[in-house]
Amino acid sequence: SIYIAIRYQWRMAAAGILALVHDLIVAGGIYSIVGFEVTPSTV
């Protein structure tokens, strides 16, 4: 994220980090709804 902030604009870096956090929340929500267990092999 620091590289993105230096290479591009800071807003682009913030948007990239926000998109990554959003993807993690969505994936975690799907895992909890379906009932899958997060193990090292699924990561």
**39: alpha, beta or left, given left = phi > 0 and alpha = psi -120 to 50?**
beta
Q: What is the pLDDT of residue 19?
A: 94
Q: How confident is the model at residue 1, as a pLDDT?
A: 62
pLDDT in tens, 1-43: 677 677 777 777 788 889 999 999 999 899 899 988 878 887 7
Q: Where are the alpha helices (DSSP H) in the chain?
A: 2-7, 10-34
At residue 20, the pLDDT reads: 92
Alpha carbon separation from 30 to 16, 18, 24, 25, 41 (Å, rounded)? 21, 18, 10, 9, 17
> What confidence score (pLDDT) does residue 22 get?
96
Name the pTM for this structure.
Answer: 0.65
Give the pLDDT of residue 42: 75
